[in-house]
Amino acid sequence: MDRPFSVAVDQPVDEQLAHLRLLGRAAAAANDLPSLEQAAHLVLEDVCQHTGWPAGRLWTRSRPLPAGPDSPALVCTSVTYPDHASRGPVRPGAVAVPPVTGAVAEAASSRRVVWGAKAESWGPSTGQPDADAGLAFAFPVPAGDEVVAVLEFYGHQPGGAEEGLTELMGTVCHHLGRLVERLDVEAQLRHSERWHRLVMGSALDAIITSDAQGVIVAFNAGAERAFGYTEAEAVGQPLSCLMPSRFREAHAVGLARASRGANGDGVLVGRTTELTALHRDGEEFQIELALSEWTVDGELFYTGVVRDITERRQAEEDRSRFDHQLASRSLHDALTSLPNRALLLDRLEQALARAAREGTELALLSVNLDRFKAVNDSYGHHIGDELLVTAARRLEAAVAAGTTIARIGGDEFALLVDPGGPEEARLTAEQVSAAIAEPFVVDAMELLVTASVGMTSVTPGQGRPSADQFLRDAEIAREHSRRRGPGLTAVYDSNMRAGARARRTAEHELRVALQEGQLVLHYQPIVELASGSIVGVEALVRWEHPERGLLPPRDFVGLAEETGLIVPLGRWVLDEACRQGAAWQRNPTCSGGLRVSVNVSARQFQQPQWVDEVAASLLASGFNPALLVLEITESILMEDTETTSHRLVELRELGSRVAIDDFGTGYSSLGYLRRFPVDILKVDKSFIDGVAEGPHESALARAVIKLAATLHLDAVAEGVTTRRQVATLRRLRCRFAQGYHFARPQPVADLDALLAHQAVDLELSDATG
């Protein structure tokens, strides 16, 4: 445990900082440096600089203990003279070791600081800079119950036993003591590890020695275990009894050749070889043999270190069997064991060919589990996996035998109805929907999921699509039904392909828009209700489409999210908003700058480097991080909570603030409000609409505003359109508001005119919106 240190509040700031720095360096040295001497060297120098003492030295436990009854238990191992840099620190051993007496001995035995005793042994032999009678200051370094070292300083000024310095040095020495403890533990570990290795090494391997004729002369415990003979039984026997009979002849030939001094094929000396060995009970096993030869008084011996590698061989065989199984499994999905996309396409190809040949009908369904992603994100992959497996089993049970059911990807399945026309397809779709709509019970939780289904079929005479195209048609129909709502079924028609193409075109256009700067930001003021002053703005993206005019976010943000374009789009918005924020910061009409809120999509937020990008935008623009607000939605807080909270903490460290947008419309769990560092709740327009109506209509708005107050969060009322709403919100002590009543989102030029007035007129006539 680190010792807490205190810095007196009445200390001058510089001194406080110097103390902190010294303590920080001592703690870091204790954590990281590999020896007490290195750490002490740093510390001695720092302390000399801090106190003005000209020299300091370290005394440590002498190890090994020097001989002789009078030898000191402490020796000087490091000396530092920071003021005499040309002399440098004196290396341990370079100084004649003075006997331990005086301040050092006293500090070691009393475990107490010795303050300004007469310096005794700082004579010229220690390299002391000048020998007039100075003073010694000694500080014991404790570790456990022992004093393991002493720091000694030499000075001219008597000084006082200053409390601050004593405490500071106490902490410094505590850190050095920690270092000694750490080094002791590490040394012990190293020692026990070496011991362990030694024991295990001799225990695991069999070591057998034979003479030049191949007669066993030594047989260790490892060999007894490996071969089943006792040492007494083995010694005197030929080596060949340890190998299967079929190898014995070759062995004898090799031995004979070696004994003639001819290095032939059979000689294994100096190499590691894998061989088959024979156990006493007749069982063969695989060994690895490392053979060496040596001579004693001209007589030749062989020593073999033998390792049983049966298990390793077994593992290798298992692996190759496993690889083989993998190859066959590559046509099936590992989780559900259903055929995968590759196998489906293969069967589809054959089925389409046969249907064309024989003039039969064929149908294909593409199925997606709605809300699966939400389940997976909220409850974890383990629940998600179980849900998928159960869904797969239900599909198998629900549809007619002979229907191929494949898992195509994440939560996508496909069903091949062969033979089957539109009627069979519709029937199968109904069966699928019903099977999935039944509640799933996973881990004692009831989960409700629905299936979106798209289907397509071929009838004779219609031409023959490719397997790929056929599957894509079913998927296009499924996406079509998904866009209309969960749990629906759609039948593919060729217009859908046109729709899919149109979306691809839109995606392309949006990409171009990003590249060519067709996006703009409009800003909507956020007003402090008490004063009417504009305290901030929300940046809202618009697309200046070359043909279709100014497009609101609902016309393209969804598409950007679907396609991933939201990531570069969001990056642009952030850069642009920070740039504009910095411009307002410099503008004298906005004294103190304006808060700028930026909307962030889940997909953006999930990018690992997103917070770095926020930091980069801030840095590049010079916009004050404290003026940036990031608006996220409740759904983000429901996902992967660990990463989310990490991101939020990082944002807070940047100094920026986080708002929850459209608060109240998302998930109803409020637990996350306590868990995550958020600053602002933006109360959704749907609550504000009724706030000035009866007590029932306004109840939710009131509750949300109160909740914000309890959690010390700022509340911003969204979509305020009437004077009565303003009056009610003021009464409810909602601090901030935003809405057409005050101002619509507008380009920078228009907003600047408004800002010049500093405030909006709260009594403006009611807005429509």
Which residues, in sequence order, are CB contacts of 162 under 8 Å at separation 6+? none
Which lies closer to ligand C2E via its Cβ, residue 489 or residue 599? 599
Which lies closer to ligand C2E via its Cβ, residue 580 or residue 738? 738
Count the Cβ atoms, other than its own, within 10 Å of residue 730. Answer: 14
Distances 86 to 58, 89, 93, 152 between C-alpha atoms, Å:
20, 9, 19, 21
Contact region with Mg ion (CB under 5 A), list: 11-19, 110-118, 477-485, 714-722? 714-722
Inter-axis angle of helices 36-51 and 13-32, to 10 degrees? 170
Contact region with ligand C2E (CB under 6 A), list: 284-292, 384-392, 440-448, 733-741? 733-741
Number of residues forming the site for Mg ion (CB under 5 A):
5
Distances 476 to 40, 497, 563 between C-alpha atoms, Å:
72, 7, 15
Q: For residue 152, which of 74, 55, 61 has the smallest C-alpha distance?
A: 55
Asked if 517 is part of the footprint of ligand C2E (rule: CB under 6 A), the reply reads no
Taking CB under 6 A as the criterion, the residue among 93, 144, 592, 769 binding ligand C2E is: 769
601 binds, among ligand C2E, Mg ion, none (CB under 5 to 8 A by kind): ligand C2E
Asked if 552 is part of the footprint of ligand C2E (rule: CB under 6 A), the reply reads yes
Backbone angles phi, psi at 326, to 5 degrees: -60, -45
Contact region with ligand C2E (CB under 6 A), list: 150-158, 549-557, 584-592, 615-623? 549-557
Which lies closer to ligand C2E via its Cβ, residue 449 or residue 596? 596
Asked if 739 is part of the footprint of ligand C2E (rule: CB under 6 A), the reply reads yes
User: What binding mask, one character per residue, do residues 572-591 give for ligand C2E by CB under 6 A, x or -?
Assistant: -x------------------
Q: Closest approach of Cβ 624 to ligand C2E, in Å?
A: 20
Asked if 747 is part of the footprint of ligand C2E (rule: CB under 6 A), the reply reads no
Angle at 107 between CA 102 and CA 110, to 5 degrees: 115
Q: Closest approach of Cβ 597 to ligand C2E, in Å?
A: 8
Q: For residue 205, which of 306, 309, 274, 277 has the smallest C-alpha distance?
A: 306
403 binds, among Mg ion, ligand C2E, none (CB under 5 to 8 A by kind): none
d(CA 611, CA 318): 46
Please list, residue by residue across 192-209, b when 16 or more beta carbons sit within 10 angstroms of its beta carbon and e when fewer do.
Answer: eeeeeeeeeeeeebbbbb
Taking CB under 6 A as the criterion, the residue among 177, 454, 536, 570 binding ligand C2E is: 570
Q: Closest approach of Cβ 178 to ligand C2E, in Å?
A: 50
Contact region with Mg ion (CB under 5 A), list: 147-155, 453-461, 578-586, 623-631? 623-631
Asked if 601 is part of the footprint of ligand C2E (rule: CB under 6 A), the reply reads yes
Give residue 465's region: left, alpha or beta (phi > 0; psi -120 to 50): beta
Which lies closer to ligand C2E via its Cβ, residue 177 or residue 719? 719
Taking CB under 6 A as the criterion, the residue among 662, 722, 734, 737 binding ligand C2E is: 662
Over its C-alpha atoms, the chain yields an Rg (Å, rounded) of 41
552 binds, among ligand C2E, Mg ion, none (CB under 5 to 8 A by kind): ligand C2E
Taking CB under 6 A as the criterion, the residue among 599, 617, 621, 722 binding ligand C2E is: 599
Count the Cβ atoms, other than its own, within 10 Å of residue 370. Answer: 18
Asked if 617 is part of the footprint of ligand C2E (rule: CB under 6 A), the reply reads no
Which lies closer to ligand C2E via its Cβ, residue 301 or residue 740? 740
719 binds, among Mg ion, ligand C2E, none (CB under 5 to 8 A by kind): ligand C2E
Positions 578 through 607 that interact with Mg ion (CB under 5 A): 599
Taking CB under 6 A as the criterion, the residue among 275, 291, 362, 541 binding ligand C2E is: 541
Which lies closer to Mg ion via its Cβ, residue 368 or residue 597? 597
Which lies closer to ligand C2E via its Cβ, residue 449 or residue 519? 519
Number of residues forming the site for ligand C2E (CB under 6 A):
22
Which lies closer to Mg ion via its Cβ, residue 355 or residue 596? 596
Which lies closer to ligand C2E via its Cβ, residue 176 or residue 540? 540
Q: Closest approach of Cβ 573 to ligand C2E, in Å?
A: 4
Which lies closer to ligand C2E via its Cβ, residue 124 or residue 769? 769
Positions 716 through 735 that interact with Mg ion (CB under 5 A): 718
List own/partner pairs for 96-105 with CB under 8 A and 24 or more apart: 96/125, 96/126, 98/123, 98/125, 98/126, 99/72, 100/59, 100/72, 100/73, 100/74, 100/75, 102/136, 103/136, 103/137, 103/138, 103/152, 104/59, 104/74, 104/136, 104/138, 104/150, 104/152, 105/72, 105/74
Q: For residue 720, which of 680, 750, 760 has the smallest C-alpha distance?
A: 760
Taking CB under 6 A as the criterion, the residue among 719, 725, 726, 736 binding ligand C2E is: 719
745 binds, among Mg ion, ligand C2E, none (CB under 5 to 8 A by kind): ligand C2E
**What's 171-221 look like in SS3?**
HHHHHHHHHHHHHHHHHHHHHHHHHHHHHHHHHHCEEEEEECCCEEEEECH
Residue 660: how many CA atoms within 13 Å on its side-chain side? 27
Asked if 634 is part of the footprint of ligand C2E (rule: CB under 6 A), the reply reads no
Which residues, in sequence order, are CB contacts of 644 under 8 Å at separation 6+? 605, 636, 637, 676
Cα Dmax for the chain = 117
d(CA 361, CA 426): 14
Whether omega for the bond prior to residue 695 falls within 30 degrees of 0, making it cis, is no
Count the Cβ atoms, other than its own, within 10 Å of residue 16. Answer: 14
Which chain residues interact with Mg ion by CB under 5 A? 599, 631, 661-662, 718
Which residues are at the interface with ligand C2E (CB under 6 A)?
Answer: 524, 540-541, 552-554, 557, 570, 573, 599, 601, 631, 661-662, 718-719, 721, 738-740, 745, 769
